[in-house]
Amino acid sequence: MEHQATFATGDIADTARHHLPQDFRDRFALRLVKFMRIFADRFFASRYGHRAVVLETVAAVPGMVGGLLQHLKALRHIRDDQGWIRELIEEADNERMHLMTFIEIAQPSRFERFLIATTQLVFYNLYFFLYLLAPRVAHRVVGYLEEEAVVSYTQYLAQIDAGKVENVAAPQIAKDYWHLPHDARLRDVV
């Protein structure tokens, strides 16, 4: 699979945009995401490459869970899903490629790899049951996770621009997947 969407810098909207919670479900989703962020902040602090690995580990889960549950629903109802399953699985695969890229960059230790696997196991099960019981809340969780990712990646870019994080060469996997030029750097990936 190949990620097709590309964006020019001018296409990117205001990164400070935030969906204000409208009801209990939205507030629950926001609190859940903020609670998860506490652990990332405490463990990774300003090690943004490692933080990106965990972010992408979590980000790959919703598409896979949604794709699985939509697949089962289509089978139960014996009807076509209008391409929704493929879209969700492609999104999960795209997030997997983000993960593979940041693993190349951050080179996580064995302990960090264990933490990644544990995080994925816990989040997969949590999200699976949340999607079964409250799909609207599950979708809102994804929205708030994306907002947190924007915050983290914006901070990562600021660290690169300030020279606090070395702007190393982009990994070959990123160059191949996103068709980056041969001289692409970390900043181009982030």
Enumerate the domain spans of the chain.
23-34+46-189
Give the ranges where 78-171 is alpha helix by DSSP (H).
84-106, 110-133, 135-161
Average pLDDT rounded to a whole number, residues 12-32? 79
Full-model pTM = 0.82
pLDDT at 14: 56
pLDDT at 125 over 90: yes
pLDDT at 15 over 70: no
Q: At the top level of CATH, which class does the domain 23-34+46-189 belong to? A: mainly alpha
Q: DSSP for 24-39?
A: HHHHHHHHHHHHHHHH
